[in-house]
Amino acid sequence: MAKATFAAGCFWGVEATFRRLAGVLSTRVGYTGGQTAHPSYKDVCTDRTGHAEAVEVEYDQDKISYQQLLDVFWENHDPTTLNRQGPDWGAQYRSAIFFHTPEQEKLAQASKEALDQSGRFRKKIVTEILPAPVFYQAEDYHQQYLEKRGLATCHIK
């Protein structure tokens, strides 16, 4: 079992996307990358905590690779918009990869560079690639939010 952490806008849709993948064992949404200890959703929405809405993914490396998770991450949000995804704006909606191992860092950097050079996007990719700091789990009502409501997605591809 391994862990990966991604921020790609509103965590409800990001979590739903990763939960559907074969080899993903569990997910949880939360806040990471900021300076406020134990923030609440209300705190993070002030755009003053420095945290991003993020999804922590536990996965079976024998069934899905970190590279495959990266591919899903890049495919399911716009990594060229700074602090924004669709109608959601603020630093909490930034694009970020929080790596847990040197190998994850290497793969994340290489995939970002390859995508930037591919010409797929007209603008430069602004995704941050940072060491995974403390992850603060979001309130229970945010966990599997879309799944609980019978919805498939809330984000823009």
- CATH code, domain with 100: 3.30.1060.10
Give residue 83's domain range.
2-148
Domains: count for the chain: 1
Question: Quick one: pLDDT at residue 157?
Answer: 45
Q: Could you tell me if residue 135 is inside a domain?
A: yes
Q: Could you tell me if residue 15 is inside a domain?
A: yes
Structure tokens at 140: 């229970």
Contact 91, 50 (CB under 8 A): yes
User: 72-108 pLDDT, tens per residue?
Assistant: 999 999 999 999 998 889 999 999 999 999 999 999 9
Q: Could you tell me if residue 104 is inside a domain?
A: yes
Strand order in the sheet with 24-32: 128-131, 95-99, 2-8, 52-59, 24-32, 135-137
What residues contact 130, with CB distance under 8 A and at least 6 apart? 33, 96, 97, 98, 99
Q: Could you tell me if residue 155 is inside a domain?
A: no
* Local structure of 136: helix, strand or coil: strand
pTM of the prediction? 0.92
Q: Could you tell me if residue 12 is inside a domain?
A: yes
The β-bridge partners of 18 are none
Considering the candidates 7, 10, 69, 132, report the single residue annotated as catalytic.
10
154 among known catalytic residues:
no
Q: Could you tell me if residue 156 is inside a domain?
A: no
What rounded mean pLDDT belongs to the chain?
Answer: 92
Q: How many CB atoms lie within 10 A of CB 103?
A: 11
Q: Could you tell me if residue 157 is inside a domain?
A: no
